[in-house]
Structure 1
Amino acid sequence: MIFARVAGVGSYLPSNRVLNDDLIARGVDTNDEWIVSRTGIKARHLAEAGQTSSELGLVAAQRALEMAGASAEQVDLIIVATSTPDFVFPSTACLLQAKLGNKGATAFDVQAVCSGFVYALTIAEKFIRSGSHRRALVVGAEVFSRILDWNDRGTCVLFGDGAGAVVLEAAEKPGILATALHADGAHHGILSVPGNVCGGKVIGDPFLRMDGQAVFKFAVRVLAEVAHECCDLAQVAPAAVDWLIPHQANIRIIEATAKKMGLPMDKVVVTVDQHGNTSAASVPLALDAAVRDGRIKRGQKVMLEGVGGGFTWGAVLLEF
């Protein structure tokens, strides 16, 4: 049988690091204590004007390929998870492919908002296990700062920009142990960007809007449920999970999810304090941070989770 394993990881953050106090200077009606006490966020990185998701994803992808010991030409599948694509079309994956110098690989985007990377990784694993592809580049890249209303302190303080990437390769032993994906479009109204472009004009509202309390309650419930679902599918006890990497949206959501799984916080990777919520980039950014600082080691079991607008949610249990 053919399985899929993670061969390399990489990430990239824009150089513009913005502290909570810097937001006050931008005119946001907030303060450091208000943000930290409610979200755990202390800083985030914001892209420069004109810096696109494909550009952020390029550096993350190159770093992941370097760790994997693979060249861009050896990749036969490129999936980019993003809600902030460079263009309506072509896909950000195709633009990234061109920047990498790859020709001929299957390339497409996945739009599942903050669950996007988990969705994309799951899709890539299915391609590899089918035997149709051997090496996939899976990227989560976002410039959420472009869709924020900087007069809405309930949302603009939460998000940041960045990219993370994973190289997934065919293997003889299982690397990804279980996956689970879900969605319920009935909840679309509690987190959305309710606008679009029509006839060259913006129709509706072009900014991110969120019912924070509703999102919190929904996220805590489904993240715990899908983590247990993955453990059951893989026949792995939750206590046997070495590291939990949930979507980095809010420290209180992360803490509540860990508690429902029965895991101590010292087994949870947390980057939301420094990155903010980077949507589809948050999980691979956190994964790369923990691999490169030595916390995550080969042979350990890692649970990746995402939940986002749609509503979508999912998890991947892997052996790194």
Structure 2
Amino acid sequence: MYRAAISGIGAYLPTGRMTNEDLKRLISLEDEWIVSRTGIRERRISGVSEATSDLAYLAALDALDDAGILASEIDLILVATETPDHILPPVACQIQRQLGCRPIGAMDVHSTCVGFLSALQIADQYIKAGMHRCILVIGADTLSKLTDYSDPYTSILFGDGAGAVIVSRMKDNDEGKIISTSLHADGEAFEFLYVPGGGSRHPASEEYKSKMVMDGGKIFKAAVKAMTSGAEEILERSGYRIDQVDWFIPHQANERIIDAVARNLHFPEEKVVKTIHNYGNSCSATIPVSFHEAVRDGRIRHGDTILMTAFGAGLVWGAALIKY
């Protein structure tokens, strides 16, 4: 059986920023209140004419450059997103066209904030099965397009961004590898966070709007439990102890969730990668964007063992353990 490794990483964040002071004009919440409850000080916001594929494309270019490969070498494109440019076709098909790839497979993964880990698992399995050698995995979302800025409890959380990795078949002398991945779902928690309108159940209307609705208290408790159990499961399955992990990259939903999960795992705070202060929750992009930032600033180096875990609406959760 072949093994898969991450051979390149990239990211792109929109230039637009929405600070807590900007939000204060819309929802009358103080910066101190928002920071104390979420850890967020600002979030990146895409422009009116800037769509998810625009962010995804630029993140993909960055990842290709980091891997030192051409778009013609890609065998498959996977894009994790909840905010496609259009209901159809997939964003992945747009990326295939923009990159000028040959006619390869391209599909979107619809798994909310666990989308990147879901796509990573798919890529890992395709590589292991010998079907592909080089897969582009992107997590990209423009959640600002689904945010109701009259709702103080959701508008403070969400932002936009894109991150990408190249997943390649390992060579004999490669040190890095994807050690293990896991995914779970519990549909009983479906209505904790959802968008009522815009789908086949309720087309968008005045009654059913295409904006997020969330029960924050229920989501908080479910998230801490799910991310903790996901991380513990992946460590046990892989035969690793928590003290063998160099860096922890959790989904950036809320700093209090991140801190609670780290405490549950008895993981040192200084080894937890956080980007939520500046970027907010960008759904499927948070883990690859955080990964990219920690690599670029020199914290994460080749050979480091990294634990990732996420949860999202559905309720879905997952984890991955990799050696970079």
* TMscore range, shorter length: over 0.9
Residue 10 and residue 153 in structure 1: after superposition, are their counterparts in 2 closer, same or farther (change >3 A)? same
- Once the two structures are superposed, the pairs formed by residues 179-198 of structure 1 within 5 Å of their partners are 179-197=181-199
The 2-side partners of 1:168 and 1:72 are apart by 13
Aligned residue for 1:34? 33
SS at 2:27 equivalent: coil
Q: Number of matched residues?
A: 319
Preserved contact between residue 116 and residue 306 of structure 1 (Cα < 8 Å)? no
Residue 199 and residue 220 in structure 1: after superposition, are their counterparts in 2 closer, same or farther (change >3 A)? closer
Aligned residue for 1:202? 204
Report how far residue 28 of structure 1 moved: 2.2
- Consecutive unaligned residues of structure 2, counting only runs of 5 or more, are none
- Consecutive unaligned residues of structure 1, counting only runs of 5 or more, are none
The 1-side partners of 2:259 and 2:111 are apart by 23
The 2-side partners of 1:197 and 1:106 are apart by 25
Encode CA deviations 1:108-142: one digit per residue, 9 max, x unaligned: 00011101001110111001110000001000000
The 2-side partners of 1:275 and 1:13 are apart by 9
Aligned residue for 1:8? 8
The 1-side partners of 2:200 and 2:129 are apart by 39
Preserved contact between residue 2 and residue 169 of structure 2 (Cα < 8 Å)? yes
Return 55-64 or 200-209, whichever deviates more: 200-209
Answering whether residue 231 of structure 2 is matched by residue 227 of structure 1, we say: yes
SS at 1:86 equivalent: coil
Report how far residue 199 of structure 1 moved: 12
Answering whether residue 158 of structure 2 is matched by residue 159 of structure 1, we say: yes
Answering whether residue 279 of structure 2 is matched by residue 275 of structure 1, we say: yes
List structure 1 runs of 4+ shifted beyond 6 angstroms.
none
The 2-side partners of 1:132 and 1:284 are apart by 24
Of 176, 179, 189, the match for 1:177: 179
Identity level (%): 42
The 1-side partners of 2:278 and 2:268 are apart by 21
Q: RMSD over aligned Cα, in angstroms?
A: 1.4
Amino acid at match of 2:7: A
Aligned residue for 1:67? 66
The 2-side partners of 1:168 and 1:22 are apart by 39
Preserved contact between residue 197 and residue 203 of structure 2 (Cα < 8 Å)? no
Preserved contact between residue 76 and residue 104 of structure 1 (Cα < 8 Å)? no
Aligned residue for 1:93? 92
The 1-side partners of 2:189 and 2:322 are apart by 29
Report how far residue 305 of structure 1 moved: 1.2
- Once the two structures are superposed, the pairs formed by residues 137-152 of structure 1 within 5 Å of their partners are 137-152=136-151
Residue 198 and residue 221 in structure 1: after superposition, are their counterparts in 2 closer, same or farther (change >3 A)? closer
SS at 1:274 equivalent: helix
Preserved contact between residue 243 and residue 267 of structure 1 (Cα < 8 Å)? yes
Tell me the TM-score normalized by structure 2: 0.96
Residue 201 and residue 235 in structure 1: after superposition, are their counterparts in 2 closer, same or farther (change >3 A)? closer
Preserved contact between residue 6 and residue 166 of structure 1 (Cα < 8 Å)? yes
Residue 149 and residue 136 in structure 1: after superposition, are their counterparts in 2 closer, same or farther (change >3 A)? same
Aligned residue for 2:50? 51
